[in-house]
Amino acid sequence: RNGYKCYKNDGRLQRGVLSSGCPSPAPPPPAPAPSASPHAPPSPRGPASLAASGLRRRRSHSPATDLHGCCCEPDRPIGYGAFGVVWSVTDPRDGKRVALKKMPNVFQNLVSCKRVFRELKMLCFFKHENVLSALDILQPPHIDYFEEIYVVTELMQSDLHKIIVSPQPLSSDHAKVFLYQILRGLKYLHSAGILHRDIKPGNLLVNSNCVLKICDFGLARVEESDEARHMTQEVVTQYYRAPEILMGSRHYSNSIDIWSVGCIFAELLGRRILFQAQSPIQQLDLITDLLGTPSMEAMRTACEGARAHILRGPHKQPSLPVLYTLSSQATHEAVHLLCRMLVFDPSKRISAKDALAHPYLDEGRLRYHTCMCKCCYTTSSGRVYTSDFEPVTNPKFDDGFEKNLSSVRQVKEIIHQFILEQQKGSRVPLCINPQSAAFKSFIRHAAKTRKK
C-alpha cells in the first residue's frame, strides 16, 4: 500500500521493492498540524470465541482474561534475549497478534531485581513510534508465587539482522529510511537521558511496512553526569562496542550508542560486519586500522594497559577512503555521515540530533513521513505533516526510584504493586492460563533457553 511493505517473516525482501504505491515525497508544508487520531481498535471477542480458543475468564475480585499462544505457530518462539524469550500470541480481548516476553527468575538477587524494574519502568514510559513500549503487563499471581513477569508489546515481523544477512538486495532508499528511524528513536532516548548500551541489528525490530523500533532495554540506564562515578563495561555486543569501552574507560556517555549506529550503517551499506574480531583487543586493532592511531587526547580516559597497547604498536595512518568500497551505495554523503559517527574521541562524535540534520537523511525523512509514520496523515487535499518530525521527551526518565531499593523482598513488593497499578484502566487485565497446551510449550522452550 505504501511501497515499503517488502519483508517476509524470515527477513527476506519481496520483489518489487519501492516500485509503486508510495507517492513521490513532497516537501512538507511549513504550517503545523495536529497528529493523526489513532484508528479504532477491532471489536473484542465475545464469550463464544473465548471458549472456542480455549481461553477462560477468571472469577475473582479482579477479573482477568487468560492469555496463551493461540497463534499460527504456538509451539515456536519468535526470539531469544539475554534475559528472556519472546513468543507471538493472540490477545483474546481484540484478536490482535502481539508479542509476549517472559522475564524468568526475576528475583534471584538485588541487581537482577533492579534491572528488571528499570526495564519495566522504561517500557511503560516510552511513547515514540521508533521505540518499542509495553502495551500491557500480565496480571501477576499472589506475591508469594510471583517469580516471573510477562510483558506484552507490539508484534514486529523481523529485525535488521535478519534483513541484512538475507540474500536479496537492499536499496539505498532502505538504508536511508532505516538509518533515519534508528536515529529518530535514539534522539528520543537520549533526550530522556537514557543510554541504550546494546544497539545492534538484532535489537532493531522491523515490521512488514519497514517501520523500525529500537528494543531490548535490559542493559539500558540513565546517563551519569558525575564522571568520578564508575560505569560497568559489560555492555554492548563486541562488534558494535565503542573504542572508549574497549579501552577500559570507567565513564562514558550516549556517544557509545552513536558508535554502534555507525557500525550498523556501514553494515547496511556493505552487508557485512564492519569490525568483526575474535577478541576485544583485536576489535580495537581493527578500529585503529581504519581510523589510525588515536591521539593522547582521544585516549585520555583509557586505562593504562589499553593505552600502552596502542603506543607499543606501529603508528597507523587513517584509511577512511576504504569506506567507499563498501558498496555502490557508499556515496560521498553516506561516507561523510559515517565518518562523523565513527570518531575515536567520543567528545567529537556526532550526536543523534545533528546526524538527523545531515543531508544524507533528507530523503529518508521525507519517505518516512510521506507514507510510513503515524504522526502525519493524508486528507482529500493532500498530506498534512506534523510540526515536529523528530520529537523529544520532557521531562526526562527519572531513575530516582532505584536509590531506596535495598532488598529483594522490597523490590518484589514494589514491582508487584507497580504492575497492578498499570492495570487500573478500562481494559480487562490479562493473565496466563497455566493449563493451556501452548503455555506448557512456552515453559518448555523457556527452560531450554536458560540451559543454553
* Residues with catalytic function: 198
Rounded to 5°, angle at Cα 196 from 104 and 452: 35
**Contact criterion met (CB below 8 Å) for 428 and 130:** no
**Contact criterion met (CB below 8 Å) for 89 and 70:** yes
121 annotated among ligand-binding-site residues: no
Helix or strand or coil: residue 159? strand
Report the chain's terminal Cα–Cα distance, integer Å.
41
Peptide bond into 321 cis (omega under 30): no
Task: Give burial (CB, 10 Å; 0-12/13-18/19+) of 332.
Answer: exposed
Q: Map grid coordinates 486528507 to a residue.
A: 379
Q: Which three cell numbers stand for residue 293?
A: 592511531
118 backbone dihedrals φ, ψ, rounded to 5°: -60, -45
**Contact criterion met (CB below 8 Å) for 323 and 339:** yes
Spatial CB neighbours of 146, under 8 Å, sequence gap ≥ 6 = 107, 140, 412, 416
Amino acid letter, residue 340: R
CA distances from 347 to 67, 232, 268, 352 (A): 48, 19, 25, 13
| Torsion angle defined by CA atoms of residues 355, 356, 361 and 367, in that order, rounded to the nearest 10 degrees | 160
Query: Residues at the annotated binding site for ATP?
Result: 101
Query: Residues at the annotated binding site?
Result: 101
